[in-house]
Structure 1
Amino acid sequence: MKKQMGLSRSLWKKIILAQLSISLAFGIYGCDSEKMTVEKKQKVENESTEIQQESEGEKMRMTTTEMEKIFESVLPEKAYKEIGNHNPVMTQRFGADPYAMVYDGRVYLYMTCDEPMLDENGEILENDYSNIYKINVISSADLVNWTDHGSVYAASKNGAATWGNNSWAPAAACKEIDGKMRFFLYFANSGNGIAVLTSDSPTGPFTDPLGEALISRATPTCAEVTWLFDPAVLMDDDGSAYIYFGGGIPSEDKAANPGTARVAKLSDNMISLDGDPVIIENVSYLFEDSGINKINGIYYYSYCSNFNVPNEKEDEIGFSSGEIITMSSDNPMGPFTLCGPILKNPQYYFGRGGNNHHCMFEFEGQWYMAYHTRILEEAMGINKGYRSTNIDKVTFDEEGNIEMIQGTLTGVEQFGALNPYQKVEAVTMGVMGGIETTQYGEKSIECGSGDMIVTGIHTGSWIGVYGVDFGTRHVEEFSVAARGKGTGYIKICMDSLDGEVLGYAEIDPDDAMEFTEITTQIDRKIAGKHDIYFIFSGKGFELESWYFN
């Protein structure tokens, strides 16, 4: 469904053609009604009346001056990160333990859904991780504008793995099997085993192919693993796959060498093991958080050090408590040799510490580090251990060694640009204030992930997208798909929240359940890259997508 806001070129053309039709009809038949057939005359009069009503309806819509007056009193809500900062990558939900999968030109991030725990008065409690049974999914083609794909219902009675209580620390992989691309999502059932889910799409719906854990305490060599969790998956160049997991300290006297890291080869189907897991030997001061990457032919196993590293030992071993440490090998199953630290504890960079969880990934020839911090909860005025995901660049020295990564609020530079002439999902954003997102469509609502829409819109809420490349075209229209019983307005600004106004859209959906495409006139030339901000007034409506013509 589509309707125009303002007198569009197409409508002017219809008016002119209608007038010509009337003139032509009367020119041919004259004023003698007997010469003009009843049918022809009635058809022309009906078309003229319909277009005149359409024109009058559009003229009744608000003028630019009236729109300007509405937005004079609209104060944009405060964002949970400064405009221009790309960390954390998502602020509409918490997202911890990030894991990246690159597929079809996009980076998909899978994160533990730190669901806020509330007491009987609605006050937020300390995060004890027991309330986690969902996995957040977002994706990006440019690393700064992220599309929200919802939260996979992974565990519990309403999740895919109904036998599991929790879904911690996901890992994802994809592989072509029998001519079809399949996606695999691994996660920990608290600290007691590893589950696997499968899907035909990176965003789901995901299903449980086993009905039980892929790795449990009944798996050989795993009964003695203190924390049977935190999976990471390596897809090797020859098509083989390996899974890394484990952590924890069996006893205080084993803190220096817990012996709880494991690696196993995955079968070709990716949902069973090809042999028993083996111990990764001599993982110094292991705490948790398996990581694995192949860089320039070398296998790098990485992990978070525990909090038992003695101060007097730091110079000797080369790292401190709660840091991300690397080991290297020429074989995916080891043995691995200690390399050194690459990421300090988040407290070092941001003032709030805790466990340190990471994932390195390569995208378009550049390596990056995804890791979690507590900067989002700090911006929200919370201090309860809820985590959010950052991304920063990975660099190498002249000898090819990974250099110490710097945690920043700025984050990474945009890769490429956002195309405004293709339909953009409204849940794609680089920064926002005061909006929410929710599942859209039967499958997404049932499974938690998939199609999403922008909800919670109210006066002062807004969305910003970075690096929108208009090229050198003449932009004529802006279209947005909306639904709902409420009405409102969108102010479209360029480069800042109070920047140059490109236009206004009046949101008055025709249907409360189905999305109506509403088009408004822009009619101006815009050159090059610009950040675009959509500021809202009103409430009761939801957005599905937008694009410029």
Structure 2
Amino acid sequence: MRQQVLNPCLPENEYIPDVEPYIFGNRVYLYGSHDRFGAPMFCMNDYVCWSAPLDDLGNWKYEGVIYRKNQDPKNRLGLRLLFAPDVVRGTDGRYYLYYAFDFMGIMGVAVCESPCGVFRFLGHIRHADGTLYGRKKGDGFPFDPAVLVDDDKRIYLYAGFGTAVPAIVTGGKKLEFQGGYAMELEEDMLTIKGEPKLLFPNHGEDSFQEHEFFEASSIRKYDGTYYFVYSSRHNHELCLAVSDRPMEGFRFAGTLISNGDLFLNGNTDEEHAANYIGNNHGGLLKLKNEYYIFYHRQTNRSSYSRQVCAERIPVDENGTFLQAEMTSCGLNGGPLEGRGVYGARIACNLWSREGTGRYDC
């Protein structure tokens, strides 16, 4: 019997934020970073994968650990943390895992013949002269990679960070915090072709005003349109930018989800959000001609125990995406049955006598 689908959608003892959903074959696969209950920091566990049949998204299967942080030769001691990853099927039919270690300032790639691992280390993103991306003057900060293999087999990588601090110095080089960058890769899936391009500056773009890029790059292409999902400077929302070209022409297309339902129905007051808010990261999935946004919510009164949720994106009569409302049943296809017992963690509206606010890090 088909199971109901709750939000958060994975088992209650699993903490997967920053989720990228993909359809490979007849299953949906979820990739993300991996939080730990009661941890003092984000992403302390190794990468794992979960999958479910396309026609039964309540029946999630644990695929196991797909990549360990100490597999990268620059992290043999396992002291650096695996932040948000992305996965793509390459032109050779293999699967490529892109990742960045916390604020180390480099991006790595692993490869596997199967979408559910185990992945093995391949190399680091580098310029044509062999210099690691993130180690050359003027490089953007290597953070939250997103990757796309286009219909013409060209490969695009998106990454970046856009804080109020303009730059840091690491490895003797100045790294820019100017926003989100795009770059084309060679067929080896590692080497940058040409020069990276600042595509989503964290300030100065009129169409993105008040929703400028902060982090959490995610890219999809559906029906000839490029959909770039990112976290804005507000930190709790996932926004959308669209274009008909992979490295230019993106225009702001609104908020897709906020983990406090802010900006929905005109509410902008963080102290009166529908839920306690925190950072957000996720990806877009087209499933049976409907679109879903995957995101995460904070749990356990902490920023470091995040769990994946998903919502169907409403569309207006012109085909424009509208902001989705947080629910407890996003992938269920309708409301939950009004009987039985449900865990408190599925509550999507939660506040105290004083209202809401941000979880402290």
* TM superposition score category, shorter chain reference: 0.7 to 0.9
Are residue 161 (structure 1) and residue 72 (structure 2) matched?
Answer: yes
Number of residue pairs matched by the alignment: 297
Q: Can you list the C-alpha shifts for 1:365-409, whole angstroms capped at 9, x where unaligned? A: 3221111112xx34xxx5453101011112322222211112211
CA distance in 1, matches of 2:311, 2:19: 13
Question: In structure 2, the residue corresponding to 1:358 is in which secondary structure?
Answer: coil
Question: In structure 1, the residue corresponding to 2:84 is in which secondary structure?
Answer: strand
CA 1:281–1:113: 2 relative to 1, 3 Å: closer
Query: Taking every aligned residue pair, what percent have the same amino acid on both sides?
Result: 25
Name the structure 1 match of 2:109.
196
Are residue 184 (structure 1) and residue 96 (structure 2) matched?
Answer: yes
Written as runs of structure 1 = structure 2, the 5 A alignment for 1:98-137 is 98-116=19-37, 124-126=38-40, 128-129=41-42, 131-132=44-45, 134-137=46-49
- Of the three residues 243, 252, 274, the one matched with 2:193 is 274
TM-score (norm 1): 0.50
Q: Is the 8 A contact 1:100 1:107 kept in 2?
A: yes
1:273, CA displacement in angstroms? 2.4
Name the structure 1 match of 2:218.
291
1:268, CA displacement in angstroms? 2.2
Name the structure 1 match of 2:120.
207
Question: In structure 2, the residue corresponding to 1:138 is in which secondary structure?
Answer: strand
Name the structure 1 match of 2:233.
306
Where in structure 2 are there 5+ consecutive unaligned residues? 127-131, 168-176, 203-207, 263-272, 342-361
1:297, CA displacement in angstroms? 2.1
Written as runs of structure 1 = structure 2, the 5 A alignment for 1:132-143 is 132=45, 134-141=46-53, 142-143=56-57
Higher helix share: 1
Q: CA RMSD in A?
A: 2.9
Name the structure 2 match of 1:236.
150
1:347, CA displacement in angstroms? 6.3
Larger Rg: 1
TM-score (norm 2): 0.74
Where in structure 1 are there 5+ consecutive unaligned residues? 1-82, 117-123, 308-320, 416-465, 467-494, 498-549
CA distance in 1, matches of 2:35, 2:58: 22
CA distance in 1, matches of 2:249, 2:178: 13
Given residue 101 of structure 2, which amino acid in structure 1 is its aligned partner? N
Name the structure 1 match of 2:6.
86
CA 1:414–1:109: 2 relative to 1, 3 Å: same
1:131, CA displacement in angstroms? 2.8
Written as runs of structure 1 = structure 2, the 5 A alignment for 1:90-489 is 90-91=10-11, 92-116=13-37, 124-126=38-40, 128-129=41-42, 131-132=44-45, 134-141=46-53, 142-156=56-70, 160-164=71-75, 165-177=80-92, 181-191=93-103, 192-210=105-123, 212-214=124-126, 216-219=133-136, 221-222=138-139, 225=140, 227-251=141-165, 259-283=178-202, 284=208, 285-307=212-234, 322-346=236-260, 348=262, 351-374=275-298, 377-378=299-300, 382-383=301-302, 385-413=304-332
CA distance in 2, matches of 1:273, 1:166: 24
Written as runs of structure 1 = structure 2, the 5 A alignment for 1:2-151 is 84-91=4-11, 92-116=13-37, 124-126=38-40, 128-129=41-42, 131-132=44-45, 134-141=46-53, 142-151=56-65
Given residue 297 of structure 1, which amino acid in structure 2 is its aligned partner? G
Name the structure 2 match of 1:315.
none
Q: Is the 8 A contact 2:67 2:120 kept in 1?
A: no
Name the structure 1 match of 2:352.
none
Question: In structure 2, the residue corresponding to 1:96 is in which secondary structure?
Answer: coil
